[in-house]
Structure 1
Amino acid sequence: MGTRADLITLRGVSAVGHHGVLDFERREGQPFVVDAVLECDFADAASSDDLVKTASYADIAERITQIVSGEPVNLIETLAVRIAEMILSEFAAIASAEVTVHKPKAPIAVPFDDVAVTVFRGR
């Protein structure tokens, strides 16, 4: 993201998904948590006080949960890229998207708090 950019930040968007390479992950599902930092020039929206000139964070959050709870993928890397690409393709006001997908219940044999991947996509 460029310096001094206007940002929309969504943290902790949660949904149950069936992503993973192990059979039980696909069968049982587990929570996934998504953070998105989105670059969007607010000048026109702020001067007109018009939602149409920005991107609705409520709509973005809803679409994120649809993707998380939708078609299963093996890798959270794939999930993160799909989310970032959806944001750019469906929300014209967004110039770039940094998307982090957390998998807090990943099948890891040692104690851990979280595992996550982050992708960045821009126009």
Structure 2
Amino acid sequence: MGIVEDFEELKPILQEKWLNFCELNLTWVNRFALWEKDKQYLEAKTILLILISLEPKLGQKMQDFHKVTTYMKMDFPNSSKWLDILNISNNKNQLNQQVEERAKNKIIEPSSPLDDFRKQNL
């Protein structure tokens, strides 16, 4: 598989993991945004570091890409460009909206009659 295909394969995984992270840590994500110079945008390099920690394959693929760009004497993309490549938003308002939409769209499964039985037998 080529480098482009590797990143295309990682995009939906990263987007899902990033939204999960933001959903769990929305208070802190918003708080960090307030500390930034431009309060509407989160720091791209911080997001990129979080993404690498959430998905180790991303770090490896970026290293591979760095080798190629070095060999080809091309500029390695900056953090903001990486977010564009991966379709990850660093706009705080857009991120809050995505998290809210996810919360609305979550399917709440009705309780099962077996739930009470399971609790009794634990």
Assess same fold via TM > 0.5. Answer: no
TM-score by length of 2: 0.32
Q: Which has the higher contact order (CA 8 A, sep 6+)?
A: 2
Higher strand share: 1
TM-score by length of 1: 0.31
Higher helix share: 2
